[in-house]
Structure 1
Amino acid sequence: MKYFAVFLSMKDEELSRVHRPEHLEFLARQREAGSVLMNGRFADGAGGLIIYRTEDTESAVALVKQDPYISLGARDYEIHEWDMETNYEF
């Protein structure tokens, strides 16, 4: 599996407010399916970040495009494959 960091930048605050319940429901379903590792919004209101876990970039993009925030025009997105480190030395 690969990991993808998806930045959901604010496009339309009103649409984001209206479609937030649908967006959160979508993320809950994806988390149950094992496709979402973590998610959260930025404290400054600029948008949010989702870490997806999928087989490849195409699968990640397909999931992102199903998110109501994206499909209904509330947010834009930027996606990057993420090499998650798990063995940190400080």
Structure 2
Amino acid sequence: MGYFAAFLHMLDVEKNKDVLPRHIQYLDELDAKGKIFARGPFTDKSGGLVVYVADSFEEANALALKDPHVVEESRELEMKEWKILVKD
């Protein structure tokens, strides 16, 4: 199991407003399945971040590519594997 950060860069502010309810519903469903570690918008309104919990980069990327913001091109996806550092 790993953590994968999906940066969702804003492309279209007006389209984003329309897509946002579907995006939230999609993430709520994944959250209920334990596939979301964290999520939320950037305070500068440049987009948002979703941290997926998945067995592989490919699985996390597939989930992120189904996000309505990505499908409907209101935001651009940038995926990175994220390593959590824990203090000893």
In the superposition, the TM-score normalised over structure 1's length comes to 0.94
Residue 48 of structure 2 corresponds to residue 48 of structure 1: yes
RMSD: 0.9
Query: What stretches of structure 1 move > 3 A for 4+ residues in a row?
Result: none
Gaps of 5+ in 2: none
Does residue 1:72 correspond to 2:72, yes or no? yes
Unaligned runs of 5+ in 1: none
Equivalent residues in 2 for 1:1-90, closer than 5 Å:
1-85=1-85, 87-88=86-87
Which whole-Å CA distance do the structure 1 matches of 2:6 and 2:64 have between them? 8
Q: What is the percentage of aligned positions where both structures have the same residue?
A: 34
Aligned length: 88
Cα distance between partner residues in 2 of 1:28 and 1:40: 12
Residue 74 (structure 1) shift: 0.5
Q: Give the Cα separation in 2 of the matches to 1:43 and 1:88.
A: 27
CA distance in 2, matches of 1:14, 1:60: 27
* Offset from partner CA, 1:23-77 (integer Å, 9 cap, x none): 0000100100111111000011000011000010110110001100000111001
